[in-house]
Amino acid sequence: MYTETRDWITTNWDRDITLRDWWARMNDACLSFPRWPTEWFGRNASQSDQSAILKAFSDADVIGAPTGLGVLMGAPITMTYGTPEQQQRWMPALATGVEGWCQLFSEPGAGSDLASASCRAERDGDEWVINGQKVWTSGALDSTRGMLVARTDIDQPKHKGLTYFIIDLEQPGIEIRPIKQMNGMAHFNEVFFTDARVSDADRVSGVNNGWAITTATLGFERSGLSEGAGGGIHVSAGTQAGLLDRSVGELVAKSKKARSHPDEYGGVFSTLLEIAKTRTLTPSQRNRMVSLYMNEQIAGYTRLRMSAAAKSGKETGAVASTMKLHWTNGLKISRDLGVELLGAEGMLVGQDLPAEGTVQHFFLSMPSASIAGGSDEVQHNIIGERALGLPKDMSLDPNTAFKDIPRN
């Protein structure tokens, strides 16, 4: 697959075409998401074939498949739980990068305990009226739609009164406010709903069955975060990002110029390895570099386990949680080791520093990694309960109507 893909790239790559056209070409060749089913622009590819395709795009240093939560979570949810009509409407736009989606789950009073979500959805004919607030929403400003879990029945226990929708964000009644982070970025957002509307045709699965779809979404998120975005240069999907009609050559040049911060967590191990080669490491530092390498190898084998389980129709929730913990554990070691290797320079910022300040930027970005995709504590609970068979944490309200649960 590697040679075949490199030959295809050589024939089709044109720096003057738009990103929209490039992603359309990739999709027509079924090279954007090779693990997807053939009926949805994929190849049913094996893990080894996918790895070969991704490596071909990376080695060619061209733009890879669309990235974002739409393809990470929205597409597998649509393929697995969506109606045929929903699949026909949403899958082409996700596969070609025309739409970017965000995840509208967490709330000020419902973070790790997501089932306590209180954002309301009330039926009004063929539509639902949405009122409430979401927070820590990644990429909301660049998204066309959002995966929304909302409370539809306050007389049901908290896990049973939720419903899952795909909501259009480009409408009155939705206000998005960026949250400024200490690394200078504003990746997260608050989202406020005031009589916003979503069609019942955009409801995924049954009314009050949203918790099952929510947990499935989180499983896709954890495994996807751990696997990384894939081969080639990463570019965000969606018309809101404003990149679809720019030339791929321009976007590649821009990416290379800003590559010192490819994303909040990307390229950390390779960066540390290059810095380590210029230093005399202590035994402790060498041990931690080896630990990082071992962590990556374990993550690779865990990814293969997940792939095999998914192909055989088995539940991957606990394995996905293990994968996510491998990811965050490696990032924590990288965070501490990076500034230690830099010494006094680790306290400075700027592109005139080693690795153009990537290590310091990563240090300021790292705290959110242990929270994004479900906190580390939640992952440990999932592994304990689903993999090890340990008893669940005591809950005083599993059968209590949501309206009767005391809240601040």
Rounded Cα distance between 132 and 150, Å, is: 9
Phi, psi of 196, deg, nearest 5: -70, 160
The answer to whether the CB of 97 falls within 8 A of the CB of 142 is: no
Least Cα distance to 188 among 134, 112, 137, 133 occurs for 137
In the DSSP assignment, the letter for residue 73 is I
Report the alpha-carbon angle 101-227-390, nearest 5: 100
Can you spell out the DSSP letters for 290-305? Answer: HHHHHHHHHHHHHHHH
Rounded Cα distance between 40 and 35, Å, is: 10
Range 23-26, long-range pairs (CB < 8 A, 24+ positions) = 23/65, 23/66, 23/96, 23/97, 24/96, 26/65
* CA 310, 315, 318, 321 torsion-angle sign: positive
Residue partners of 273: CB distance under 8 A and separation at least 6: 289
Rounded Cα distance between 327 and 241, Å, is: 27
39 labelled catalytic: no
Strand partners, 255: none
Rounded Cα distance between 400 and 119, Å, is: 18
CA dihedral 214, 220, 225, 226 (to 10 degrees): 130
Which residue among 99, 107, 221, 227 is the active-site one? 221
Residue type, 166: I
Q: Is 175 in a helix, a strand, or coil?
A: strand
The answer to whether the CB of 157 falls within 8 A of the CB of 403 is: no
Residue 43 tokens, joined: 């190849």
Rounded Cα distance between 372 and 361, Å, is: 17
* CA 324, 325, 327, 332 torsion-angle sign: positive
Q: Which residues are catalytic?
A: 221
